[in-house]
A = this chain, B = another copy of it.
Amino acid sequence: MNEHIVKSYEEELNALTAETTRMGGLAEAAVADCLLAVVKRDQELATAVVARDERLDVAERDIERRAIRLIALRQPMANDLRKTVAAMKIANNLERIGDLAKNIAKRTLVIIEEEPMTPLTRSIERMGKLVLNRLTSVLDAYSRSDMERAMAVWSQDDEVDEHYNSLFRELLTYMMGDPRTITACTHMLFAAKNLERIGDHATNIAELIHYEITGEEMISQARPKTDPLEA
C-alpha cells in the first residue's frame, strides 16, 4: 500500500535524521549567505537567500509528515521516540532560522540603498560570525550525537546576548548622533535582533540534542541570560 511501509523501521528513522541534518546544512548556508550579503552589500546574494527559503519550508513539512507517520505506524519507544520527536522539533527550529535569515536578507536590500556604515557593519559581522559558529557547532553535535559539544553551545548562550546588547547601544548612539541614519539603523537593529534569535534557536537545538540523548528536558529558565530585558 505505502512505499514507506516496506522500508525497515531502522531505515525510516535514519532517513528522518539524515533529512534533518541536511536541512541543517541548508539553514546554515542561509545564515552564512545573508551575513555575506550584509557585509559585501551584495544585492544578488540577498535576493538568492530570499528565494531559497522555500526549500526549508518544504523540508520542514516533509520531516514533520514523516515523523508523525513513523510515530503512528511504528510506535517507536524510548530512544527511538525521542529521536523522532527531536528531529521534528529541530526541523521546526531550522525553519524559523531560515525565516530569520530571509528577513535579514530582505533588510539588507534596504540597507544597501543607504550610505555604508562601516563600524556598524563590522559589529553585525562579528555578532553574525559568533552566531554562525554556534549554529555550525550544534549541527555538528546533532549529526554526531555529541552531547558534550551540544552542552558547550548551550552554556555559551550569553556571549550572543552580550554582542547584541553592545550593538544595540552602538545603534542608539549612531541614531542619536545623526538622525539621517535612523532608517538604516532601524533595519540593522532588526537584523541584529534576528541574529540573536538565530542564536536562541541554536540553544534550543542544543537542548533537543540533550533530550534526545538523555531523555531529560533542560529547563530553559536555567539558561544563562545576561540581560533579561532584551529577551
Measured CB to CB, the residues of A under 8 A from B are: 54, 57, 61, 68, 71-73, 75-76, 81, 85, 92, 99, 102-103, 106-107, 109-110, 168, 172, 175-176, 179-180, 182-183, 186, 189-190, 193, 217, 220-221, 228-229, 231
Contacts and interface: CB of A to CB of B under 8 A. Distances in A.
Contact of A182 (B57, B175, B220): B175
Contacts of A103: 231
A179 B76 CA distance: 59
Contacts of A229: 106-107, 109-110
A4 to B, nearest CB: 15
A189 B175 CA distance: 14
Oligomeric state, in number of copies?
Answer: 2
Interface of A is mostly: helix
Contacts of A220: 57
A190 B168 CA distance: 12
Given A57-B220, A106-B229, A176-B179, 5 more contacts: A68-B71, A72-B81, A172-B182, A175-B175, A175-B182
Closest 5 CB pairs of A and B: A176-B179, A71-B71, A72-B75, A71-B72, A175-B182
A118 B160 CA distance: 34
Contacts of A179: 175-176, 179
A231 to B, nearest CB: 6
Contacts of A68: 71, 81, 85
Nearest to A175: B182
